[in-house]
């Protein structure tokens, strides 16, 4: 269990470094829309006080995961209460960068995932999208030694296992129906799935201690770049 947590932290550290490298030549301030985002994540990355980043968090949480209410504005963060599946190409063109960190896999169907991805790609804007790797030994949502490669298990087996243990993803469930509801918003992606959704992106695996933890799709496009960059 400690190994899983350490692998997750190391992966997040590598991802934040990749992100900062990715936006290094953007003109500041960078207007970022963070789909499903929270202030807590930006705090973990040490970027919550970066005045060069103006972040609009699109989520329908009442409160952020660190307990801070984000309504309507905290420092350089603005919260927009919206359903990401309803956002169109024109919405994304208001920003310099479309960002999401472990959000897309929570959309309950491939159809919804495709709808969101198509709007992002169709906008022509730069994007940086991360999803957990369905083929990884460690699933961040159920990071338990009893559940290696959990995301690749048949749904029926996943439900059965949640009757035995919460697998570090919540409490143990008492019924198949309850376990099914827990898994409704859990639709992880493989690297092939990600390539199909983001066909114009650079797709890379994010490794941590030899484990392919996550997948990152990134593309630079029509964002405001620094003048020194041709």
Output the pTM of the full model: 0.86
Task: Give the chain's residues under pLDDT 70.
Answer: 1-3, 61-74, 221-230
Record: fold of 2-137+186-219: Rossmann fold (3.40.50)
Asked whether the CA dihedral 96, 220, 52, 49 is positive or negative, the reply is positive
Would you kindly state where each structural domain of the chain is located, as residue ranges?
Answer: 2-137+186-219, 142-185
pLDDT tens for 79-94 read 888 899 999 999 999 9
Say how far residue 18 (Cα) sits from the centre of its chain: 14
pLDDT, residue 228, reads 28
| Per-residue pLDDT, 60 | 74
Query: What's the pLDDT tens digit per position in 117-156?
Result: 999 999 999 999 999 999 998 888 888 887 888 888 888 9
pLDDT of residue 74: 63
Coil vs helix vs strand at 137: coil
Nearest to 33 by CA among 116, 100, 102, 124: 100
Of 53, 4, 49, 44, the residue nearest 24 (C-alpha): 53
């Amino acid at each position: 269990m400690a190994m899983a947590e350490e692998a997750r932290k190391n992966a997040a550290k590598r991802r934040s470094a990749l992100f900062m490298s990715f936006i290094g030549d953007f003109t500041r301030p960078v207007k970022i829309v963070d789909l499903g985002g929270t202030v807590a994540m930006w705090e973990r990355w040490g970027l919550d006080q970066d005045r060069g980043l103006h972040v609009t968090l699109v989520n329908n949480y009442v409160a952020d995961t660190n307990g801070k209410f984000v309504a309507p504005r905290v420092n350089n963060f603005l919260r927009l209460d919206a359903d990401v599946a309803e956002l169109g190409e024109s919405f994304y063109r208001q920003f310099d960068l479309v960002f999401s960190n472990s959000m897309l896999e929570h959309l309950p169907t491939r159809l919804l995932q495709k709808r969101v991805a198509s709007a992002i790609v169709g906008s022509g804007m730069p994007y940086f999208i991360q999803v957990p790797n369905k083929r990884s030994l460690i699933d961040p949502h159920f990071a338990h030694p009893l559940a290696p490669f959990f995301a690749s298990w048949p749904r029926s087996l996943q439900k059965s296992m949640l009757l035995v243990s919460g697998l570090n993803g919540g409490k143990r469930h008492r019924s198949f129906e309850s376990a099914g509801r827990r898994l409704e918003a859990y639709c992880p992606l493989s690297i092939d799935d990600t390539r199909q959704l983001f066909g114009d992106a650079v797709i890379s695996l994010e490794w941590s201690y030899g484990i392919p933890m996550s997948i990152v799709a990134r593309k630079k496009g029509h964002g405001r770049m620094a003048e020194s960059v041709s």
